Copies of this chain bind each other. A is one copy, B any other.
Amino acid sequence: MEEVKWWRVSVGRLKNFIVEIFTSIGTKRHDAEITADVLVTSDQRGIASHGVARLKRYVDGIGRGVMIPNAEIEILKETPVSLLVTGNNGLGQPVSYKTMEKLILKACKSGIAFATVRNSNHYGIAGYYSMMALEKNFIGISMTNSAPLVVPTNAKNMAFGTNPISIAIPTKEEFPWVLDMATSTVPRGKLEVYARQNKSIPIMWATDAEGLPTNDPALVLDNVLNRIGGGLLPLGGVEEISGGHKGYGLGTMVDIFSGILSGGSFGLNVYGHGKDAPPDVCHFFGVINPSLFIPIDKFVSSMDEFIKELRNKPTSKGQDRIWIHGEKEWISQRKNAAEVPIEVKVIDNMNEIAGKLGIYSPFK
C-alpha cells in the first residue's frame, strides 16, 4: 500500500504560481488566471484527479506543440440563442469559461442559450462551467467528450470517453445543487488509485481484453494503454440487466452533443489523430433562466424544499446520512477556501516544471 502525502498550501500563492508557469510559456495572463482558477477550484472541491495534478500534462502538451498556449478563440456561428466556438487548440479552460460568459449574457436577453465548442482540450471539472450560471440564478449545463476509455454494451473494445455531464441548479438558502458525473461507473483515476494500492476493483467497473468483467485494475490500465481490448464500463455495468446500456446511451449522447453537434471529433477520433496532432476535445454548454417559466423566488424556494426533504429522510440500515448532489464538494470548497491540500508528489512535479522554466517556486 502506497501512502499518499498531502501538503496544505495557500490558495492565492498556488494560483499565482500556476499563472506564472503558464505566462512564461506564452499564455496570456487572463487565460492563465482562468486555467489556474479552474484547476485550484477542483482541488478545493476535493476532486484532486482534475486539479493541479493535470498541470504537467498541459505544460507537456504545449511543449509538444499539440496545445497552443496563446490560442485565440473564435466564434464560427452565432444566433441570439446559440454559439459555435473553436478553441483553436488552446487550453480547454479559457475557451470554456469565455463561452459560458457569452451564454450567460445571451440568456439574460433570450432566456436560453446553448453552445458547442470544438478544437479544444481537457477542460478540467465539468461542474466549474455549469456553476458559472448560478451567479445569475440560472441553470447551467456542461458536458465534454474525452479520450476513448469506455466500452459500449456487448463490445470488446472502448469506443468513447468517460464523457461527463454537469448540471447546476440555483437554490435560495441551501448550497447549490450540482450534478457532476462521468457517464462511466467510475473515472480512470479510480482504477489508478486501486492499482497503486494493489486492491481488487468491483466487477461493475471494467472489462478485460475479451470484454469480460475483471477485478484487476492494473490489467485494465495496461490493456487500455496498449489498446489490447476492454476498458471502463458505462454506468450500470456490463449487462443490460444491470442497466449498462443506459450508461452507454448517456455517454454516446454526450459525444453527440459535444463532438458531432460542433462538427468536431467524436468517439475514437477524440485524441485519435496521432501523437503530434491536437486532440480536438469538444464541449457542450447551456444556460436556462428558470424565470422563463416560474418566478425565480418560487423556483429557488422549491429547490430548498426538495433538498431538505431528501436530506431529512430516514437512512437505510448502516448509513448515517443522505447526501445531496454538490453537498460534499461545497463543504470541501468552504473548508479549503484559504488553503488547499495538494499531494506532495504533485507539488514536486510543479517545482520541477518551474525549475526548468526558471520560475521561483514558493513551495520549495
Seen from chain A, the residues whose Cβ lies within 8 Å of a Cβ on chain B are 77, 79-82, 84, 110-114, 116, 151-157, 159, 167, 169, 177, 179, 181, 185-186, 202, 204, 207, 210-212, 235-238, 241-243, 245-250, 252-253, 255-256, 260-263, 266-268, 288, 290, 292-294, 298-299, 302-303, 306, 309-310, 313-319, 321-323, 325
Contacts and interface: CB of A to CB of B under 8 A. Distances in A.
Given A302-B260, A313-B155, A323-B154, A246 B235 contact: yes
Sorted nearest first, the 10 A-B pairs with minimum C-beta distance are: A211-B316, A154-B319, A263-B294, A82-B292, A179-B249, A210-B317, A185-B243, A156-B314, A181-B246, A260-B302
Given A169-B256, A262-B293, A267-B309, 14 more contacts: A81-B112, A82-B112, A152-B310, A154-B323, A155-B313, A155-B319, A156-B313, A156-B317, A179-B253, A211-B319, A235-B236, A235-B243, A252-B310, A261-B290
Given A112-B112, A112-B114, A294-B84, A316 B207 contact: yes
Nearest to A298: B263
Contact of A316 (B212, B263, B290): B212
Nearest to A302: B260
Of the listed residues A80, A154, A159, A253, the one surrounded by the most CB atoms of chain B closer than 10 A to its CB is: A154
B294 A212 contact: no
Given A81-B292, A153-B322, A249 B181 contact: yes
A314 B210 CA distance: 10
Contacts of A242: 185, 202, 204, 237
A310 B159 contact: yes
A313 B152 contact: yes
B288 A114 contact: yes
Contacts of A113: 112
A322 B84 contact: no
A99 to B, nearest CB: 13
Contact of A313 (B159, B202, B247): B159
A154 B322 contact: yes
Nearest to A300: B260
A323 to B, nearest CB: 7
A168 B84 CA distance: 21
A294 B261 contact: yes
B322 A152 contact: yes
Contact of A292 (B77, B156, B290, B315): B77
Contacts of A210: 316-317
Contacts of A302: 260, 263, 266
A91 to B, nearest CB: 22
22 contacts: A79-B111, A80-B110, A81-B81, A81-B111, A151-B316, A155-B310, A155-B313, A155-B314, A156-B316, A157-B314, A159-B309, A181-B246, A204-B241, A210-B317, A212-B318, A235-B235, A235-B247, A236-B243, A250-B250, A260-B306, A262-B294, A266-B302
Contacts of A314: 155-157
Contacts of A110: 80-81
Nearest to A81: B112
Contacts of A77: 292-294
A19 B265 CA distance: 47
Nearest to A112: B81
Of the listed residues A114, A204, A243, A303, the one surrounded by the most CB atoms of chain B closer than 10 A to its CB is: A243
